[in-house]
Amino acid sequence: MVVKGVIKNKVYFDSVSLMRIGSELSSMEGVEDVAMVMGTNENKSILQVSGMLLSEFSDSNGNDLLIGIKANSDEIVSKVLDKMESLLESLQKGDSSSTTFVPKSIDGALKTLPQANLAMISIAGKYAANEARKALNRGLHVMIFSDNVSIEDEISLKKLGKEKGLLVMGPDCGTAIINGVPLAFANKVRRGDIGIVGASGTGMQEVTSLISNFGGGVSQAIGTGGRDVKKEVGGIMFLEGLKALKNDKNTKIITLVSKPPHQEVIDKIAFELKGCEKPVVALFLGADKEQLKDFPAEICRTLEETAQKSVELSLQLSLMREVDFTNDDILKEKAKKTSNQKYIRALFSGGTFCDEAGILLRDHLKEIYGNHSGKGILPLENLFMSQKHTLIDLGEDDFTVGRPHPMIDFSLRNKRVIQEASDLECSVIILDVVLGYGSHPAPDAELAPIITKALSINPKLTFISYVVGTDADPQNRKQVISALQNAGSLIVSSNRVATLFALEIVK
């Protein structure tokens, strides 16, 4: 044990800084204790108590810094002194880095930003309703990204919002674009005169992106959350959003995107549309023709068609679309297949794509399995094992417990791609790649190596991918497309085209 006392003459440090440095030095390895005090009589009596009043300190006063060190060796003592010098120096320089205050509540936030008019809520669902209610009571529009909010809460929040003339987007609303600002998972699309109300997040991403890519633009895209159009909620916000778009002078075309609403809700929407002077385009993905009889809108069947129709009405022209694939392309892919390669395996990160693919395939193929089972789609026996034709929504809870959404975390889908490639019955793999805010910043870096690897396992495999997004998105769309092409994937422009292409190959 070495005990060493050092005096630094004619310096001053406040006692609190010295205690902090002293405790940092005491925690160094091989150090038993470090005392640092100014040499006042009071401090000397403190040192006396702790046995650190060393003989070296006898000739010192309040303008001297006393340093007492107990350590295992002289070497450690000099290490301590070195570190002390640098700490004292940094103390004198000061630290100019400053952290700004982050409010802890909506009320606190409103003190910082008194003009705030919209709250985005993505905290755990259990708490989301309470905070949304506070926001509404303070006059804020609300977008609730959180899921797991009870339907009772959803109804009461939406009633409150309606009463106050405020939007309540969600719960479970993944996408909105308000005044050109993409909220949550959304793409940077051209502004324009097409106003959208949607109860489907990825559906809205595809429709808004395609509108933009087709040359049109979006005035507003209001998300409602998928449950809004169910009987219980009664389409409260779908209808409020619709009314707002009817009133909005920047909206010339109104586009509706949803899974089939409850019949009562369809009737209410139809009633609200009566006498609407603006053209209306509607996609109720998978709805029966019977359900939409007399519905006063241009009815579409797919996301792509919806975008196209909206743009055509907006620009008042017919879009001449290039074909994504030719007969030759189909024949070329078919030619390389073995007799066992019969099936489509579609691995989606967006739930609406899974539904849309099912709707497009169910009249043409038998034995389609998936985790969005329903009309024409059989439930998978094991979600982690494909059978025959398989359409999987990897964004379902079964896959996302304990991990981020597959638009952010590609690991699960990557594993599944390799698994499909090793299955000799797999012929075509469909992949959606969703760009935009919220999604993975560089999906090509994740997917391209996996596609290459899968093709090395089975070169006779066909990859068909489509990239949802625009050239203005934070990810570089062109680069993503060329990286996937270079890796060996075919690239098409939409989910509809990808599905139909795959169908032709396996038919």
Partner 1 sequence: MSIDNLFSGSIQVVNLGLNSFLEALKESNTPHVQVDWKPGLDVEQSIIAKVDKHKEKIDQANREVTDIIASGSPFLVGMAQAFEVIPRMHKKLILHAGPPITWDRMCGPMRGAIIGALIYENLASNPQEAEKLASSGEIEYAPCHEHNSVGPMAGIISYSMPVFIVKNKTFGNETYCTQNEGLGKVLRYGAFSEEVVNRLRWMETTLYPTLKKAIELFGEIDLKGVISQALHMGDEVHNRNRAGTSLFYRIIAPAIVRTSENREDAAKVLEFIHGNDHFFLNLSMPASKAILDAARGVKYSSIAVVMARNGTDFGIQIAGDSKKWYTGKALVPDALFFPGFTKNDANPDIGDSAITETAGLGGFAIAASPAIVQFVGGNASDALNYTMEMYEITTSESRYFQIPSLNFRGTPTAIDVRKVVEKNITPFIDTGVAHKEPGVGQVGAGVLRAPSEPFEKGYIGFASLLDD
Within residues 11-40, the interface with partner 1 by CB under 8 A covers 14, 16-17, 19-20, 22-23, 33-37
Which residues inside 114-143 make contact with partner 1, applying CB under 8 A?
115-124, 126-127, 131, 135, 139-141
**Contact pattern for partner 1 over residues 191 through 210, marking x by CB under 8 A:** --------------------
DSSP 421: H
> Please, what is the minimum distance in Å from the beta carbon of residue 178 to partner 1?
5
Task: For 288-347, give the secondary structure using H, E and C.
Answer: CCHHHCCCCCEEECCHHHHHHHHHHHHHCCCCCCCCCCCHHHHHHHHHCCCCCCCEEEEE
Which residues inside 38-97 make contact with partner 1, applying CB under 8 A?
42, 45-47, 49-52, 68, 95, 97
Which residues inside 340-399 make contact with partner 1, applying CB under 8 A?
none
How far apart (Å, rounded) are the C-alpha atoms in residues 406 and 354? 14
Residues in contact with partner 1, total (CB under 8 A)? Answer: 84
Q: Is the peptide bond before 171 cis (omega within 30 degrees of 0)?
A: yes
490 binds partner 1 (CB under 8 A): no
Q: Is 176 within 8 Å of 144 (Cβ atoms)?
A: no
504 binds partner 1 (CB under 8 A): no
Which residue from 29, 55, 101, 275 is in contact with partner 1, where contact means CB under 8 A? 101
From 9-17, 224-232, 327-335, 486-494, give the range in contact with partner 1 by CB under 8 A. Answer: 9-17
> Please, what is the minimum distance in Å from the beta carbon of residue 405 to partner 1?
11
How far apart (Å, rounded) are the C-alpha atoms in residues 172 and 128? 11
110 binds partner 1 (CB under 8 A): yes
Token look-up 């030719």 returns: 326
* φ, ψ (nearest 5 deg) of residue 141: -70, 155
> Please, what is the minimum distance in Å from the beta carbon of residue 174 to partner 1?
11
Q: Which helix (H) or strand (E) holds 38?
A: strand 31-38
145 binds partner 1 (CB under 8 A): yes
272 binds partner 1 (CB under 8 A): no
Query: Hey, what's the torsion of the CAs at 420, 359, 314, 207, to 10 degrees?
Result: -40
326 binds partner 1 (CB under 8 A): no
**Contact pattern for partner 1 over residues 223 through 262, marking x by CB under 8 A:** -----------------xx-xx--xxxx------------
With a CB cutoff of 8 Å and minimum separation 6, the contacts of 104 are: none
